[in-house]
Structure formats: C-alpha cells, structure tokens
C-alpha cells in the first residue's frame, strides 16, 4: 500500500494546489491513501467529493508553542496553540470508533500487517 500522509493544499501558506489536483496527482502516482494536512485548518475537506477512488484520511498540521504537530483522523479542526493541544490531539485519535485505543495494540496491528507502506 502506498501512502502520503503529509500534503498541503492552497489553504496552507506553502502550497497553491487545488483539492481536485491533489487527488489526480495521487492517483497518477499510484497512491492508495492520502491525507491533506494543511496548516491550522481543514477547509480543503469542504471541497473534496464524498466518493473518491482513493482513501482520504482527514488531518491537519497544528502549530503549538512546542512546534508543529501533524494529526490524522480528525472530524473537525483542533484549536489552541499551547502544549495542551498535544493532549487534545491524543484524545481525538484514541477516541475514534473502530480504531485501536491502546498504543501497544496499534503497534501490534502495524507490525503484523502484511502490506508494505511507502513514505
């Protein structure tokens, strides 16, 4: 399985790419999974069609007073800019239904996976 979990769109200060163009480029490169992780917002997800031929993991890159953190599987943007944001991100990820809530359990799932991941 090929994936890219750190892509920026025109909603980040460091990219000009439209959502549709990102999806087309990902398909052309043979990616199976992408995440558009714009800086401090999730506006791009309003522009993506609901049905795509590629898996899209919702995410964002959040600036905190301890540096940038990239978070995945968000339903809504994470707010705040202090270190407590790390804990908010952790709670958001572990509260996802259907996903392993325990770090060791997640690690086992990844290590036991027979699929190859490319970054």
Answer yes or no: are the C-beta atoms of 114 and 82 closer than 8 Å: no
Report pLDDT digits (tens) over 57-113. 899 998 877 778 888 888 888 776 554 555 555 555 544 444 445 555 655 555 554
SS3 label, residue 91? helix
d(CA 36, CA 47): 12
Of 9 and 101, the one with more pLDDT: 9
pTM of the model: 0.68
In terms of CATH architecture, what is 3-112? Alpha-Beta Barrel (3.20)
Answer yes or no: are the C-beta atoms of 92 and 69 closer than 8 Å: no
Reference 72, options 104, 47, 106; nearest CA is: 106
Q: Is the dihedral of CA 13, 14, 16, 19 positive or negative?
A: negative
Q: Where are the domains of the chain?
A: 3-112
């Amino acid at each position: 399985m090929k994936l890219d979990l750190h892509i920026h769109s025109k909603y980040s200060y460091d990219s000009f790419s439209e959502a549709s163009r990102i999806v087309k480029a990902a398909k052309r490169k043979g990616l199976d999974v992408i995440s558009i992780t714009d800086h401090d917002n999730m506006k791009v997800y309003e522009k993506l069609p609901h049905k795509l031929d590629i898996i899209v993991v919702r995410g964002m890159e959040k600036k905190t007073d301890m540096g940038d953190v990239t978070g995945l599987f968000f339903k809504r943007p994470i707010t705040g800019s202090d270190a407590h944001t790390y804990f908010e991100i952790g709670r958001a990820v572990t509260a996802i239904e259907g996903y392993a809530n325990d770090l060791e359990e997640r690690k086992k799932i990844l290590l036991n996976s027979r699929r190859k991941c490319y970054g």
